[in-house]
Amino acid sequence: LLVLNTMEKKLAEYKCDTNEAISLKLVRFPEDVEDDGTTFHPEYSHQIFGDDEVAFGYKGLQIQLFYTAGNLSTLFKVKYSSKVTETFDCVEPDDVEGKIREIVPAGFTYNTDDFISLLEKEANFKPFGTLLHTYTVHSEEAGEFTYQIHKADIACPGFQEYHERLQTFLMWFIETASFIDADDDRWDFFLVFEKYNKDGETLYATVGYMTVYNYYVYPDKTRPRVSQMLILPPFQGEGHGAQLLEAVHRFYCGLPKVQDITAEDPSENYVKLRDFVLAKLCQGLPSFAADKLHLGFSADMVKEAQEKLKINKKHARRVYEILRLRATDMSDEVKAREYRLEVKKRLFGPYRKNQRELAKMRKCLRPEELVSHMGQMDTQTQHEELEKSYQVVVEGYRRIIERLATQA
């Protein structure tokens, strides 16, 4: 037993947290390669290294995945201070390199000097596709930065290879990410680039992107569905996601064939972003004017949001609730109560559906089965749950209203 414990302790020294071991970088200048300040790490590595996100078999494991900022030419290196097979015969180390190679497309380099020489080619890199929107971000420390949003498709020369490199980031930052079959021409790609200067030349750095799939809607419309969206970590929290989503909405609004825009399995963060962008777009529509909001959610709102901004009824309803909260004096008890009832009525929908299903169940369940279902459904609990849901919703709406105020 003692031997086993010593062995286990020794083996434990050869386990590494893969989220820490993997270092990612977007490199503009040769000195970035050695600068720890430009390094960022994955949020997730379970898709490659299993649920515990551990690589076994190495001490001091470092996995470097460095990309040139624009073209995303890749340096891939695995380093470690010692490897398990050198001391134990019976235990195999994980094939770290093999696992990473499954997601990183061919054409990378193992050599740092070769990688640095690729930086010289970055001046030739130009954004793919057509320019949709340009915007600037002002930072106190560093002044003005200029960004461009482009729409590309798989036919753009060189884009397919670039996209294969770009989508490797999904694995590290989206929990349930999967690669798409980009050959299908119903995919649209929207890319964000930063313009920057290097030795008097204008260069472009990759900031983030979105993929959208155009579904067919009978008889002659399409429904673009957002599939993936990622702003790379060095650029997060600067408002690029909102700029991108708004530009994409405006692009599809200009296409008569588009019915409405949806998203596939949206994350909580995406829903917050969408609420903000759609509220920003809808606040200028006549049907969402402040004096109309207290009259309730109307058919005019549904119609105008759909026709002018390709927003579906469900999303229009959320926008109405956000803008109505902004226009409501919540210190006035009567108005506050009206607002609360309005939101709770929508939130109560799923509960009512449950009640109907319960009534059906009563006809076909044995009494003891029914009791276990009834337990989930008593009125007191429902009211408490509803109140909790309401508070969470309004808290989220208030943050969106604050953000709208800073944009005004």
Q: Which residues are catalytic?
A: 264
- Other C-beta atoms lying within 10 Å of the C-beta of residue 29: 14
**3, HSE (Cβ side, Cα atoms, 13 Å):** 0
Could you tell me the two tokens for 74?
A: 């890749």
Residue 222's nearest CA partner among 187, 250, 179 is 187
For CA atoms 82, 117, 30, 32, give the dihedral sign. negative
The 3-state DSSP class for residue 174 equals coil
Could you tell me the two tokens for 169?
A: 């980031």
Residue 271's nearest CA partner among 399, 167, 149, 150 is 399
Q: Where are the alpha helices (DSSP H) in 268-332?
A: 268-282, 290-293, 299-309, 313-327
Burial zone of 200 (CB within 10 Å; 0-12 exposed, 13-18 middle, 19+ buried): exposed
Q: What is the number of helices (H) and of strands (E) in the chain? A: 15, 14
Q: Taking phi first (over 0 means left), then psi (-120 to 50 degrees means alpha), and beta for anything else, what does residue 129 get?
A: left
Strands 187-198 and 82-83: unpaired
Distance CA 193, CA 147 (A): 6
Q: What's 92's DSSP letter?
A: P
Each as own residue / partner, the long-range contacts of residues 266-271 (CB below 8 Å, 24 or more positions apart, any chain) are 266/226, 267/174, 270/226, 270/229
